[in-house]
């Protein structure tokens, strides 16, 4: 699948099928470069359990693009807490270049992939090769998706959000009550945004009000 032609076209077809606006040619081509790089590295290390282009596009990329498009205007700095293979942070950086994205990843091999992806794609994103808990700065938005011990991570993430900033959680409807409790009473939550192709997966956006 190295550099498989048609990834960009397939991505836009999936967006259209989900009744979403397609990407412009340049952005779609950069997503193709990202997916091709991820698939090459995934042959040598476990970046993601999904190992085919179609699965990466339909599960990881589409969902991350939806989050990018639904982030409130005015977010200048975003933390991808436990970035892994770069979801959702790299798609956010590609779709929302006005946002400075920090990709926090404690596993050294995954952090090395993120560094290479940032270099290859020419992104202004930063890579924090360590645990997000060690960061001392705060962010306009902290996003996370499929993080180990998610509730504990949300509790930590909440402390990294500025007043009137946002928590952006890619999770399931069944887990949402626990995650809201972990974030605490300082957050006011919008109605969840349901993701295509699933009855359970959602995006939840919470604004820090105090």
Instruction: Report the distance separating Cα 199 and Cα 145, nearest Å.
Output: 17
pLDDT at position 4 is 46
**CATH class of the region 7-208:** alpha beta
> pTM for this one?
0.94
104-117, pLDDT tens digit by residue?
Answer: 999 999 999 999 99
Q: Where are the domains of the chain?
A: 7-208
Name the band, by pLDDT with cuts 50, 70 and 90, for residue 202.
Answer: very high
116-163, pLDDT tens digit by residue?
Answer: 999 999 999 999 999 999 999 999 999 999 788 999 999 999 999 999
């Amino acid at each position: 699948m190295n550099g498989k032609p048609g990834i960009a076209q397939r991505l836009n077809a999936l967006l259209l099928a989900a009744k979403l606006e397609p990407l412009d040619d340049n952005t779609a081509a950069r997503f193709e470069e990202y997916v091709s790089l991820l698939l090459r590295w995934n042959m040598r290390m476990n970046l993601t359990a999904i190992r085919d282009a179609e699965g990466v596009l339909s599960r990881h990329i589409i969902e991350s693009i939806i989050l990018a498009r639904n982030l409130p205007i005015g977010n200048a700095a975003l933390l991808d807490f436990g970035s892994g293979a770069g979801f959702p942070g790299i798609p956010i950086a590609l779709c929302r270049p006005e946002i400075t994205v920090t990709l926090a990843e404690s596993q050294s091999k995954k952090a090395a992939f993120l560094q290479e992806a940032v270099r290859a794609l020419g992104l202004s994103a930063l890579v924090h090769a360590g645990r997000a808990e060690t960061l001392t700065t705060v962010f306009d938005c902290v996003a996370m998706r499929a993080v180990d011990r998610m509730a504990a991570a949300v509790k930590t993430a909440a402390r990294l959000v500025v007043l009137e900033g946002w928590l952006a959680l890619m999770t399931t409807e069944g887990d949402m009550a626990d995650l809201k409790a972990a974030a605490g009473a300082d957050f006011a939550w919008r109605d969840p945004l349901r993701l295509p192709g699933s009855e359970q997966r959602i995006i939840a956006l919470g604004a820090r009000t105090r």
